[in-house]
Amino acid sequence: MSDSHNDKIYSVSSLNLSVANLLEQEFAWIWVEGEISNLAKPTSGHIYFSLKDSSAQVSCAMFKGRNRSVNFQPENGNQVMVRAKVSLYQPRGNYQLIVDRMEQAGDGALRQQFEALKIKLAAEGLFDETNKQALPELPECIAIITSKTGAAVHDVLSVIERRFPSIPVKLFPVPVQGSDAAPAICNAIKLIDENVADGTLNCDLILLVRGGGSLEDLWSFNEETVARAIFDCTIPIVCGVGHEVDVTIADFVADVRAATPTAAAETVTPDQSSWLQSFDWYQQRLQQLIKNKIERHQEKVQWTHQRLQQQHPENQIQYSRQRTEELKNRLIRCGQSMLHFHQSKLATNKAKLNAHNPMLLIKQNQQSAQFLTSRLQQATLNLFTHKKSVLSNVARTLNAISPLHTLERGYSITLNDKGSALLSVEQVKANDTIETRLHNGRIISQVKRCINEE
């Protein structure tokens, strides 16, 4: 007894918990076939029963949330296949199966075919992620392959209408169960692929969907021909077949697998409200950038306007007028000064003549004085005439480069509604009000359209 105390001692609860963990880790999900017995359906909605064969039985529990997917009424004596986890009912220490899915045993042969084809196609690389095509962020058109009378097509269309109604859809109706289903699905996939390739169809995404059902109902989606048609298609395919627990070969080959048709539609359609929020953000950003650019151009126009005012031809003309007036006054003063000088000199000579009384010299001096006076007056007149001619030439030159004179020749200046001159067609847009200034008036007009001829 003393040696045994050195080993770990389990309580009954901890032992049962350890055994339960070992069972669940070792077996995970398994399929078990057997006959139903001891079936019980309490008011809780759960199903309790035993699975037995000729030599053994095991307790099973299928809880309410899972047994809703059973498409038949389980009865004692039914031969069934169940998908379950091995567990332990710890309060009693009984091992049991927690059933997730139940099918009639007739599906067993189909299940074996399913597993064999799955292994074959996986070995060929049809399930490899490297072969998966990326889905378009915003599909231009969605092709839907499904039954036109099933609930799946209505679920898909309602989701697209809710999430992004502007995406166009194209329905390719096919049977989704029975012997004709697989060939019809293959033909639809190939038809879409060929029409997209030759440009007669503008679809960049395919939804392959149908509602839930038994393994036999869904078998057309486990056909090898359908799997290879999906793999060979150059357009991305999203497969949404059955309920969440249903898995088909088509799901493995498709570029994206969705749990249900509704989930498939949600996977391929973006949220319109999120896109609209993004558009609003980009619009605000664009408006701010445009506003900043306009402000920079307005500052540049204002700076140019100030420089133009400083160097305006009218200011140059005014300066030339003032300069001419100043030269004129200086010329007059100079002439008067020279006249006074000669008059003074004449008076001096006259005084000398009177003092010496040389009559001839006086006459000569008088003639000389008259001649000099005449030359002075003529020189003064010539100088004045020359300066006046120079002034006229300067005035004509300034007038030739004046914007006002340019307007008189048929040109015009176009301003925006803020009074700024338009230098480029990019400064206006349709329906803007503009002002055209001519030499004798203004024209107010509205832009019909803008044509950039660069």
pLDDT of the residue at 209: 93
Rounded to an integer, the average pLDDT of 287-295 is 83
What's the CA gap between 366 and 374, in Å, rounded? 12
Token reading at 358: 């040389």
* Winning range, highest mean pLDDT, from 4-13, 173-182, 306-315: 173-182
Q: Taking 50 as the threshold, does the pLDDT of residue 332 lie above it?
A: yes
DSSP designation for 91: T
> Quick check: helix, strand or coil at residue 443?
strand
CATH level 3 topology of 9-108 = OB fold (Dihydrolipoamide Acetyltransferase, E2P) (2.40.50)
pLDDT of the residue at 109: 63
**Burial of 339 (C-beta count, 10 Å sphere; 0-12/13-18/19+):** middle
Rounded to an integer, the average pLDDT of 354-364 is 71
Per-residue pLDDT reduced to its tens digit, 186-237: 999 999 999 999 989 999 999 999 988 777 788 899 999 999 999 999 999 9
Per-residue pLDDT reduced to its tens digit, 14-69: 877 888 778 777 777 888 888 999 999 998 889 999 999 888 999 999 998 888 87
Using left for φ > 0, alpha for ψ between -120 and 50, and beta otherwise, residue 82 falls in beta
Q: What are the backbone angles phi and psi of residue 254, rounded to the nearest 5°?
A: -60, 155
Each as own residue / partner, the long-range contacts of residues 289-297 (CB below 8 Å, 24 or more positions apart, any chain) are: 297/427
CATH for 125-270 is 3.40.50.261
Rounded to an integer, the average pLDDT of 356-373 is 79
What's the CA gap between 221 and 240, in Å, rounded? 11
Rounded to an integer, the average pLDDT of 123-139 is 91
What's the CA gap between 307 and 323, in Å, rounded? 22
**Burial of 100 (C-beta count, 10 Å sphere; 0-12/13-18/19+):** middle
CA dihedral 104, 105, 110, 113 (to 10 degrees): 140
What's the CA gap between 97 and 27, in Å, rounded? 11
Between 378 and 315, the higher pLDDT residue: 378
Domain layout of the chain by residue ranges: 9-108, 125-270, 313-401, 408-446
What's the CA gap between 66 and 49, in Å, rounded? 15
**How are beta strands 256-258 and 413-415 bridged, if at all?**
unpaired
pLDDT of the residue at 2: 46
